[in-house]
Structure 1
Amino acid sequence: MRRILKALPSLLSLAVIGLFLTACSPEVGSEDWCADMKEKPKGDWSANEAADFAKHCVL
């Protein structure tokens, strides 16, 4: 039980850092997102990303 309580602050810190990092991504369909996708290699795009790119950035 003590090991868990000792590790708890570290785990919470990692969770908070993870939330901050994911909150920095631009919203899908925004100009920033379209620019990021244009720079990303096409082979790394998921099917959803390709569909969103076509929907928001091309059409």
Structure 2
Amino acid sequence: MKKTITLLGLLVSVTLMTACAPEIGSDAWCAGMENKPKGDWTGNEAADYAKHCVFK
């Protein structure tokens, strides 16, 4: 029973943390990408940044 409650608590915590990510193209997301090293960007992130932050 204790393991079930712990697992449920962990699942809820992870769900809440991932729900807080800024929406792609928002001002917060663009600012976060500007602070992230360019070498760490994925191809999709670079394309989304160009589309939503550079060519608004």
The TM-score normalised by the length of structure 2 is: 0.90
Unaligned runs of 5+ in 2: none
Deviations 1:12-47 (A, max 9, x none): 101100011111110000011000000011111111
Unaligned runs of 5+ in 1: none
For residue 34 of structure 1, the aligned residue among 17, 30, 33 is 30
Superposition misfits of 4+ residues, deviation over 2 angstroms: none
Structure whose CA Rg is larger: 1
Q: How many residues align?
A: 55
For residue 13 of structure 1, the aligned residue among 9, 12, 18 is 9
Alpha-carbon separation, structure 2, partners of 1:34 and 1:21: 19
- The one-letter amino acid paired with 1:36 is G
Percentage of pairs with the same residue: 58
Q: What value does the CA root-mean-square deviation take over the aligned residues? A: 0.9
The TM-score normalised by the length of structure 1 is: 0.86
